[in-house]
Chain A
């Protein structure tokens, strides 16, 4: 029993970090109806930035989220203005291909700068853990999860308590309506995309202490994050958090009770099951599909 609780606790701590990593992906999908396949690559890029900061200055990887987040925000803004805005209303194949292309560019650049070897960030508390009752809590996972929770709360406040946040939510529910209400939907999309990419900054910093990473790791990350947002309901932020916690637990249960070799299969199985049985996910809005498209 303790063993099972231990597995679930570790999974939940992991899931908190996954939630932050997935939040930007679901936000961008919700507002822009674009699946940003490059989200995983951006996450890995931020992890490498954290690695560089840590090796050169010794700044704690979790603290360096304060640096990587604005950097990734700026990168997101530039990406939107140079490329993404041109395919805003294009069919899914175009946006998937373009963001896939961006992922390949990032993968190539990372490989060029940091070489194709596994890197990891190992602060002093990297291998430490403490005991609560009979449960071990790894220090790094706890810190990362707490930091993720704080950032997610800030993101939630931004979306619900500010004018910009309301504009983002309005645009995500009805872009044309928002436009008629005087919201510049183009700028809102740029802001959303930049915020979405900014979350990979903090997310990348946090995952850098949890997992070793590699230029091609982005494939595994994007699969996992897609599984999470499909499970939670694409476009729903609370859904992404719920989906992420469940994904973290499911992965840990699989590695403990089935085999480590099948952990990567968890997101794929989740995608299959959810899209077939409940396509709108756990917390996704059910859209009326009978309304005739104009």
Chain B
């Protein structure tokens, strides 16, 4: 990371030259046509950069981003004509209105995901368009609103607009870059990669998403105001234009999703293509068809975008020089002790850390968890076993907040937590790994380990994404599980067993009191199981409490004391492993005819 690669240097020089030329352009050329083309390209670049924050980073695909162009435009139009202010002074108001609407609407619509979110953003845009059309008194309806003409000399032409919009482009790029470098940015990317997992590792996802939506709207609002002043006439179909949303999406996909310069590059390509088709086919229907065909071609043939595709070529070329992940082994040398939150009590066996009372959850007719009560004493490694379908993973989901129980209580260290959000539970010291690992696949191992958040504060949002003290701790943790040499490997490139180790290091970052492990030994090789057991013991000696779901009975007998047995969603036995193995009820649950899974389901 310290050495600047020649490709990056070349890219930097090319960018600087291009922007230098853009800044100088109006000084030596008074070509109105090209100034207008660039101005529109800038508008698309700002819109695309905004879209990139909510959709490229956070993965929430919005087709309503041009609503903020309209909101900004109408704000400038209405304020400037009613209050008789120079439209330039209204731009901050336009940005603020866009941000405010994004915050209010975001709180509501950010609750939907995937296709539903796409649909609701279209509805959001079109509802605003219709409102602008029907609210005659405010907007002038379909006849539109006329803005005051510019007060400066005619020979300046479009130059002031050009520079203001160019400034907004640079601000957008700066904002995109800054967000990527902060906790806020990694939080958004974590949401894109796996939102439920993000919640489980302490990220307050609703706040992140709404702030992401606001950040994606602010500068588009100001750009909309500038655009309205440039046009001097605004009407609902021009300002709330769904095609502008589509151009923004296309620009980001073309340039490169979640990159900093991709949206700007894409916006220029889109606008130049638009101009080309306009010149050749005029404002005819055929123009629409040609543009549609270009758009289809981009989606089909360049789905990754220009910058990532080029980046991919460079990466493949240099990757040949280093050995692949598969060839490198896990570091099995003994590792040093970890600095941890000190164990609270001197006589840990007495205190109950986790208590579950009468927990219930139904899926339709199936009672997956049915009046489950159990407790975990501090300092123990408690096992949780039971036949398939007995409700173990559902119990985990209820304890860590992935799902809401239908009834019952969960207490952690004397606090009732069953109504808290998953991230609050994580902040209180509850951590959980998954049966099938859920790492943020596109992030590196190190980024994965620094992603968890032990608390939430506004200041923290602005903190560096991968900062000094945290990195040191993350590296200690990776060293502890023997995965330090993979720190800069993308998580998706690791084997399943390696991912389990990284996920353990990841949740340790929360410095949890209680760690829920869901089948830690499932699907990994014996050497790795040994290593994992050793690590769990070491952590336990340092004062960590564990609740382990596991099917490997010798392992459970060896590691866990006491062991809790579930069947049909409720606890049927608890005690030391040796006693449990002889308990007739337990034997019956696993082997007896009266306890087949089918009956448990239909009961």
Interface of A with B (CB < 8 Å)?
Answer: 29, 33, 35, 83, 86-87, 90-94, 96-98, 100-112, 116, 215, 219, 223, 226-227, 230, 234, 261-262, 264-265, 267-269, 271-272, 275-276, 279, 286, 288, 290, 292, 294
Q: Taking the nearest CB of chain B, how far is it from the CB of A97, in angstroms?
A: 5
Contact of A83 among B114, B250, B300, B403 (CB under 8 A): B300
Interface of B with A (CB < 8 Å)?
Answer: 55, 61, 63, 108-109, 111-112, 114-116, 118-120, 122-124, 126-127, 130, 133-134, 242, 246, 249-250, 253, 284-293, 295-296, 299-300, 303, 363-364, 393-394, 397, 402-403, 434-436, 438
Pair A35/B119 contact, Cβ less than 8 Å: yes
Q: Would you give 21 A-B contacts (Cβ < 8 Å), ordered by A?
A: A35-B115, A93-B55, A93-B61, A94-B303, A102-B296, A103-B292, A104-B295, A107-B285, A109-B289, A111-B286, A111-B288, A112-B285, A223-B126, A264-B130, A272-B124, A275-B116, A275-B119, A288-B363, A290-B394, A290-B397, A292-B434
Q: Which residues of A contact B300 (CB under 8 A)?
A: 83, 86-87, 98
Q: Please name the residue on chain B nearest to A230 by beta carbon.
A: B119
Q: Taking the nearest CB of chain A, how far is it from the CB of B207, in angstroms?
A: 19
In the complex the two chains form, what is the Cα distance from A105 to B293 in whole Å? Answer: 6
Do most interface residues of chain B lie in helix, strand or loop, or is the interface mixed? helix
Contact of A271 among B114, B123, B242, B296 (CB under 8 A): B123
Pair A92/B114 contact, Cβ less than 8 Å: yes
Pair A268/B363 contact, Cβ less than 8 Å: no
Query: Of A83, A100, A116, which is in contact with the most chain B CB atoms at under 10 Å from its CB?
Result: A100
Pair A111/B285 contact, Cβ less than 8 Å: yes
In the complex the two chains form, what is the Cα distance from A107 to B287 in whole Å? Answer: 10
Q: Known contacts A83-B296, A107-B288; can you find 4 more A-B pairs with CB under 8 A?
A: A102-B296, A105-B288, A226-B123, A267-B123
In the complex the two chains form, what is the Cα distance from A290 to B285 in whole Å? Answer: 47
Q: Which residues of B contact A100 (CB under 8 A)?
A: 246, 292, 295
Q: Taking the nearest CB of chain B, how far is it from the CB of A79, in angstroms?
A: 11
In the complex the two chains form, what is the Cα distance from A97 to B295 in whole Å? Answer: 8
In the complex the two chains form, what is the Cα distance from A77 to B580 in whole Å? Answer: 61
The 10 A-B residue pairs whose C-beta atoms are closest, nearest first, are A111-B285, A108-B289, A104-B292, A108-B288, A105-B292, A101-B295, A101-B296, A268-B123, A271-B123, A93-B61
Q: Please name the residue on chain A nearest to B120 by beta carbon.
A: A275
Q: Taking the nearest CB of chain B, how far is it from the CB of A21, in angstroms?
A: 17
Pair B134/A219 contact, Cβ less than 8 Å: no
In the complex the two chains form, what is the Cα distance from A198 to B295 in whole Å? Answer: 25
In the complex the two chains form, what is the Cα distance from A11 to B242 in whole Å? Answer: 29
Contact of A234 among B115, B293, B438 (CB under 8 A): B115
Query: Of A33, A215, A226, A275, which is in contact with the most chain B CB atoms at under 10 Å from its CB?
Result: A275
Q: Taking the nearest CB of chain B, how far is it from the CB of A215, in angstroms?
A: 6
Pair B249/A104 contact, Cβ less than 8 Å: no
Pair A96/B63 contact, Cβ less than 8 Å: yes
In the complex the two chains form, what is the Cα distance from A272 to B284 in whole Å? Answer: 35
Contact of A279 among B112, B289, B292 (CB under 8 A): B112
Pair A94/B299 contact, Cβ less than 8 Å: yes
Q: Which residues of A contact B55 (CB under 8 A)?
A: 93
Q: Please name the residue on chain A nearest to B62 by beta carbon.
A: A93
Pair B292/A262 contact, Cβ less than 8 Å: no
In the complex the two chains form, what is the Cα distance from A96 to B112 in whole Å? Answer: 17
Pair A108/B290 contact, Cβ less than 8 Å: yes
In the complex the two chains form, what is the Cα distance from A195 to B261 in whole Å? Answer: 42
Q: Please name the residue on chain A nearest to B363 by beta carbon.
A: A288
In the complex the two chains form, what is the Cα distance from A292 to B127 in whole Å? Answer: 36
Pair B122/A223 contact, Cβ less than 8 Å: yes
Q: Which residues of B contact A262 (CB under 8 A)?
A: 130, 134
Q: Which residues of A contact B127 (CB under 8 A)?
A: 265, 268-269, 272
Q: Taking the nearest CB of chain A, how far is it from the CB of B367, in angstroms?
A: 14
Q: Which residues of B contact A93 (CB under 8 A)?
A: 55, 61, 118, 249, 253
Q: Which residues of A contact B61 (CB under 8 A)?
A: 91-93, 96
Q: Which residues of A contact B295 (CB under 8 A)?
A: 97, 100-101, 104
Contact of A92 among B109, B118, B253 (CB under 8 A): B118
Q: Which residues of A contact B434 (CB under 8 A)?
A: 292
Contact of B438 among A86, A215, A292 (CB under 8 A): A292
In the complex the two chains form, what is the Cα distance from A35 to B118 in whole Å? Answer: 10
Q: Taking the nearest CB of chain A, how far is it from the CB of B523, in angstroms?
A: 12
Q: Taking the nearest CB of chain B, how far is it from the CB of A188, in angstroms?
A: 20
In the complex the two chains form, what is the Cα distance from A102 to B246 in whole Å? Answer: 13
Pair A107/B126 contact, Cβ less than 8 Å: no
Q: Taking the nearest CB of chain A, how far is it from the CB of B53, in angstroms?
A: 15
Pair A292/B436 contact, Cβ less than 8 Å: yes
Pair B303/A276 contact, Cβ less than 8 Å: no
Q: Please name the residue on chain B nearest to A94 by beta carbon.
A: B299
Q: Which residues of B contact A35 (CB under 8 A)?
A: 115, 118-119
Q: Taking the nearest CB of chain A, how far is it from the CB of B484, in angstroms?
A: 27
Q: Taking the nearest CB of chain A, how far is it from the CB of B422, in angstroms?
A: 12
Q: Taking the nearest CB of chain B, how far is it from the CB of A191, in angstroms?
A: 22
Q: Taking the nearest CB of chain A, how far is it from the CB of B345, in angstroms?
A: 34
Q: Please name the residue on chain B nearest to A41 by beta carbon.
A: B292
Given contacts A223-B123, A276-B112, contact A215 B299 (CB under 8 A): no
Q: Please name the residue on chain A nearest to B364 by beta carbon.
A: A286
Q: Which residues of A contact B299 (CB under 8 A)?
A: 87, 94, 97-98, 101
Q: Taking the nearest CB of chain B, how far is it from the CB of A53, in angstroms?
A: 21
Q: Which residues of A contact B119 (CB under 8 A)?
A: 35, 226, 230, 271, 275
Pair B118/A275 contact, Cβ less than 8 Å: no
Q: Which residues of A contact B115 (CB under 8 A)?
A: 29, 33, 35, 92, 234
Q: Please name the residue on chain A nearest to B243 by beta carbon.
A: A104
Contact of A104 among B123, B291, B435 (CB under 8 A): B291
Pair A105/B285 contact, Cβ less than 8 Å: no
In the complex the two chains form, what is the Cα distance from A141 to B486 in whole Å? Answer: 68
Pair B284/A112 contact, Cβ less than 8 Å: yes
Pair B123/A101 contact, Cβ less than 8 Å: no
Q: Which residues of B contact A104 (CB under 8 A)?
A: 288-289, 291-292, 295
In the complex the two chains form, what is the Cα distance from A116 to B283 in whole Å? Answer: 12
Pair A290/B403 contact, Cβ less than 8 Å: yes
Given contacts A92-B61, A223-B122, contact A105 B289 (CB under 8 A): yes
In the complex the two chains form, what is the Cα distance from A104 to B277 in whole Å? Answer: 14
Q: Taking the nearest CB of chain B, how far is it from the CB of A47, in angstroms?
A: 16
Q: Which residues of B contact A109 (CB under 8 A)?
A: 285, 289
Given contacts A35-B119, A96-B118, contact A116 B285 (CB under 8 A): yes
Q: Which residues of B contact A96 (CB under 8 A)?
A: 61, 63, 118
Given contacts A292-B436, A292-B438, contact A97 B285 (CB under 8 A): no
Q: Which residues of A contact B435 (CB under 8 A)?
A: 292
In the complex the two chains form, what is the Cα distance from A193 to B106 in whole Å? Answer: 34
Q: Which residues of B contact A103 (CB under 8 A)?
A: 292
Q: Taking the nearest CB of chain A, how far is it from the CB of B299, in angstroms?
A: 5
Q: Which residues of A contact B290 (CB under 8 A)?
A: 108
In the complex the two chains form, what is the Cα distance from A96 to B122 in whole Å? Answer: 11
Query: Of A93, A94, A271, which is in contact with the most chain B CB atoms at under 10 Å from its CB?
Result: A93
Pair A272/B120 contact, Cβ less than 8 Å: yes
Given contacts A87-B300, A90-B303, contact A261 B134 (CB under 8 A): yes
Q: Taking the nearest CB of chain A, how far is it from the CB of B91, in angstroms?
A: 29
Q: Please name the residue on chain A nearest to B300 by beta carbon.
A: A86
Q: Which residues of A contact B134 (CB under 8 A)?
A: 261-262
Q: Which residues of B contact A90 (CB under 8 A)?
A: 303
Q: Please name the residue on chain B nearest to A100 by beta carbon.
A: B246
Q: Which residues of B contact A91 (CB under 8 A)?
A: 61
Pair B289/A276 contact, Cβ less than 8 Å: no
Pair A265/B118 contact, Cβ less than 8 Å: no
Given contacts A35-B115, A104-B295, contact A215 B285 (CB under 8 A): yes
Q: Which residues of A contact B296 (CB under 8 A)?
A: 83, 98, 101-102, 105
Q: Which residues of B contact A92 (CB under 8 A)?
A: 61, 114-115, 118
In the complex the two chains form, what is the Cα distance from A252 to B300 in whole Å? Answer: 41
In the complex the two chains form, what is the Cα distance from A276 to B55 in whole Å? Answer: 20
Q: Please name the residue on chain A nearest to B113 by beta carbon.
A: A279
Q: Please name the residue on chain A nearest to B133 by beta carbon.
A: A261
